[in-house]
Amino acid sequence: MKLHLWPVVVLAGLLALAPPAQAGRSCEAGKPTAQTIEKGLTLAERTMQALDAEHARSGAKLVVLARMGQNLSAYGLRYSHLGYAYKTPEGPWRVAHKLNTCGTAESALYRQGLGEFFLDDLWQYEAAWVVPTREVQERLYALLQDDGRTAALHGKAYSIVSYAWAQKYQQSNQWAIETLALAMEPAAGTRERAQAWLRAQGYEPGVLTIGPLTRLGGRIGSANVAFDDHPPGKRFSDRIETVTVDSVFAWLARARLGGAPVAIRL
């Protein structure tokens, strides 16, 4: 599977031609404004400067990078979407991540520059990242250089609230940590095995309290929302367990796979 390769885009006219794809926020139609372009590019520039400084200081060449695509404070969450930012041999940082195609229940993998990553209609202009351990960096970096391995555990069927321990759907953050599992354990060549590795390493998904009326409205109104992969006992008790950025950050520190999150905001 060939990953989608997007060049760095600055002009609003070119942005209008980009295929609509989102993660961690709803897919309302709307063209970027001069203000959102300016703020997105400013956040990208400051993030690049901070990552370059980290690279110069520690040699870090890969981080787990998050953004705030929508307001999740009602669920006690701060960040909505993550990807892997890695420094290319040519110098620029690029981000490998998964996006949902708007209006559909499908997804694809992308490599984008920092500018594109933050040229979304973000809820807040804030970035956060975790620097993984040297071993995690080396293994993930090597995997991401290979399109085939990067896409090995990608599930095209998408639900933004997919159950963390099922394989029917796969949301963006779920692809990321299952791919991390594959990088760390080459025998985890299926999603089921990758999830088993994550369980063994103590990963605990985020828990969202979503009542039946909200679930019904979400399922009817959005192609990218489905709850039928969640165990009935948990679903009917309003307990939706899915992969959240906050839970990934907490797990990386708890499992000693990464450091504390660093944030930058405009």
The set of residues, in sequence order, having a beta carbon less than 8 Å from that of 147 and lying 6+ positions away, is: 1, 2, 3
Write the pLDDT tens digit of every residue in 237-252.
788 999 999 999 999 9
- Per-residue pLDDT, 21: 61
Write the pLDDT tens digit of every residue in 136-172.
999 999 999 999 999 999 999 999 999 999 999 999 9
Tokens of 89: 């041999």
Q: Answer whether residue 24 shows pLDDT above 50.
A: no
- Look at the block and give the residue holding tokens 């040699």: 59
Residue 105 in contact with residue 224, Cβ under 8 Å? yes
Residue 126 in contact with residue 66, Cβ under 8 Å? no
Point out the least confidently predicted range of 148-157, 162-171, 190-199, 209-218: 209-218
